[in-house]
Amino acid sequence: MATETKIARWKLVLGYGAFALVAFVLCLLLTFPYDTLRARAVGAAADAGYALRIGSLRPGLFGLTATQVRLSKVPNGMTPELLSMLESNSAMMPGPEELGEPLTIDSVAVRPALFPPGVAFRASLLGGSASGSVGGLSDVKVAMKLSDLDPSGGNLKGFSGLDLVGKLNGSLELTLPKTRGQPDLSQANGQLSLDSRGLIIQGGNVTVPMYGTPTPMDLPRIALGDLDARIRIEKGLGTVEALQTKSEDLEIQGSGTLKLGQRLDVSQPDMDFKLSAEPEFVKRLGLIGAGLTILPADKTNPKFRVAHLSGFLNRPTFGPPRPQMH
């Protein structure tokens, strides 16, 4: 009888404990400030000039999952009225004329991470995935992996202006020291790698910095082929270890450096390129092709034209190489 009573009490304690745990989790799910979290995410995106819309925000496996996410660059700048509508997830949301064409992301799942302490994420987009983590105790460590992205999906054409097909993979590892308590991209260490397979620009429009002048262009079909890019970053200076692509249309080889700024858009490239384009492809390029023919020939291999990229990422200058100082 004593044994039976002891087992009964153990079951009773376990039952109360399980009920308390379920009640706590249910209360957390019902009272979690999802609207506040949505508004904070929308506000952070707005600070960078982007409109963020989240279809739904719900609990996921040990974290939160956002679905039907849309991110767009606001053409004429964010206004208080637009921000208020985005934060409240208004049903009367403006269209692409005011918010810009959105990049659509199927889902983003976020959960706590222990090594390093921070958050881990996984996004389903462009037919593939982007996963990684952000965190750290002193320095901020960022890790991300891109897997089998298909740039023909997710309205990337509307978002970027480029009609692309192919496959894209890549990885990023960065350690950002803190300056005055904030992560400092200009002092980061790490590495970036990208590789594409069968990448083709099927058309679209883009602004090209021809000889320092931003020039809008309608693009013809351009086969970029298989891209291999690797950049090593030490104390904010990225050194190109590999940058090359080759297809039936053209061959590109790149070298040089990228000096990271406090923001990525004000980072400064100092890069040299060698370009070899097929004659028929140059004709298809029109004005861009004419610009390529003006570039000087490479002294070591005349089949290549040489060019230099400088300025800032948000205001690049692409043209003939700078004269060598003797």
Task: Tell me the pLDDT of the chain (326 aa) as tens digits.
Answer: 444 555 566 555 566 566 555 555 455 444 455 677 778 888 888 887 889 988 888 876 677 888 999 999 888 888 888 888 888 877 788 888 888 999 999 999 988 887 778 889 999 999 999 999 998 888 999 999 999 999 999 999 998 888 999 999 999 999 999 888 888 999 999 999 999 999 998 988 777 666 556 677 788 888 988 999 999 999 999 999 999 999 999 999 999 999 999 888 899 999 999 999 998 888 888 877 777 888 899 999 989 999 999 999 888 888 888 776 54
Q: Would you state the pLDDT for residue 30?
A: 47
* CA–CA distance, 205 with 217 (Å, rounded to integer): 5
Contact 289, 282 (CB under 8 A): yes
Q: Tokens 């925000």 map to which residue? A: 57
Extended beta strands in the chain, E state = 50-60, 63-73, 103-113, 118-125, 128-135, 140-149, 162-176, 178-179, 182-183, 189-210, 213-219, 222-234, 237-246, 250-259, 268-277, 305-312, 315-319
* CA–CA distance, 311 with 270 (Å, rounded to integer): 8
* CA–CA distance, 200 with 58 (Å, rounded to integer): 37
Q: Tokens 């208020």 map to which residue? A: 84
* CA–CA distance, 27 with 18 (Å, rounded to integer): 14
